[in-house]
Copies of this chain bind each other. A is one copy, B any other.
Amino acid sequence: MSALTVALDIMGGDNGPSVTVPASVQALSLLPRLNLILVGDLSRCDALLRQHGLLSHPRVRLLHASQVVGMGEKPIHALRHQKDSSMRLALELVKSGEAGACVSAGNTGALMAMAKCVLKSLPGVDRPALVKGLPALGGKRSYLLDLGANVSCDADALLQFAVMGAVLAERVEGIAHPKVALLNVGEEEIKGNDLVRHSAELLGQCPALNFIGFVEGNELFSGKADVIVCDGFVGNVALKTAEGVARMMADAVGMGGRKRTFIGRIASFLLKQRFSNLNPDQYNGASLLGLRGIVVKSHGSANERALCHAILLAAGEVKAQLPAQIADRLETVLSDRDQ
């Protein structure tokens, strides 16, 4: 059994080390094969690391970083001027092969820009895409991509997203022949804009994909498709809309006037139990697919349990050797098209 090594940017997120350090302890105890490289300002974190027994943990390596990328930093500034930041050094560890994946709860734009610059795209990938598993009926999981890495896309990009999402569903979720759909405004072939109609042709002609056609917004959580593909603008709006509705319903059902009623509390509890996947505080982690390395973005406001989940997600992708699997599949798809 080989080790799974994840580099964690311990400075990232709204609460930084006070969340990332205890989350590391949780992840280490849950996954005995996990090794962590904790990257951050070690002088600031010394007491916290000591308190959690991480200064001399057999499966933990510490790496000092003199800079921290701020949550409001412009990506281009971070890219140019924060080369000794915890985020950047964690990505460099993936590039050098010392870590199999990087996890950060920091600035999304900066992480995407740095990841593309440090790790580079896989052959056949024009644009890396952000993907997340959504809870679906029957306890299933549906992967939605892109979630905002690319606000305008062409059909070739959507084909690549489809292939990458299918490999993820297959290798990490264990779904054989995952059903792939395009997100559209109707199920009929004549519906939609030029992008989805053209993309439907491309996906339908790809023998490596189990393309089932279009799904609509109300089917995102139906389990009808295992992988749902759209451009990053649409995917971001859909995901945030879903989170907004879920949060509004959970909040409102728990309120009877100004105080929570007894029944309201129970209803709210039930909702939280069943729809924790839609709550960014729990089971969080979006993967940036299409790079020569694994990068998982945790929600900035993640709590310990949420961040621990993002670490375990990254470890699962390392175990599945996701980048190599994606590269192989894309090579097949592209050589099929060229013939």
The residue in chain B whose Cβ has the minimal distance to the Cβ of A256 is B270
Chain A 223-261: CB-based contact to B (< 8 A → 1; otherwise 0): 000000010111011111111111111001100000000
Query: Residues of B contacting A216 with CB < 8 Å?
Result: 236-237, 240
Query: Residues of B contacting A252 with CB < 8 Å?
Result: 274-275
Interface status of A175 (Cβ within 8 A of chain B):
no
Given contacts A151-B193, A263-B270, contact A246 B249 (CB under 8 A): yes
Residue pair B246, A270 in contact (C-beta under 8 Å): no
User: Within residues 151 to 186 of chain A, which ones have a CB less than 8 A from any CB in chain B?
Assistant: 151-152, 183, 185
Given contacts A192-B233, A221-B245, contact A270 B278 (CB under 8 A): no
Residue pair A217, B238 in contact (C-beta under 8 Å): yes
Query: Residues of B contacting A245 with CB < 8 Å?
Result: 221, 241-242, 245-246, 249, 278
Give the CA-CA distance A191 to B263 in the complex, in Å: 42
Residue pair A217, B192 in contact (C-beta under 8 Å): no
Chain A 202-234: CB-based contact to B (< 8 A → 1; otherwise 0): 000000000000001111111000000010111
Give the CA-CA distance A241 to B185 in the complex, in Å: 11
Query: Residues of B contacting A152 with CB < 8 Å?
Result: 193-194
Given contacts A217-B241, A249-B274, 14 further A-B contacts (CB under 8 A): A151-B191, A151-B192, A185-B236, A217-B238, A221-B248, A222-B244, A233-B234, A234-B234, A241-B245, A245-B245, A249-B271, A263-B266, A263-B267, A266-B266
Residues of A within 8 A of B (CB): 137, 148, 151-152, 183, 185, 191-194, 216-222, 230, 232-234, 236-249, 252-253, 263-264, 266-267, 270-271, 274-275, 278
Closest 8 interchain pairs by CB? Answer: A217-B240, A218-B244, A267-B267, A217-B241, A185-B236, A218-B240, A151-B193, A217-B237
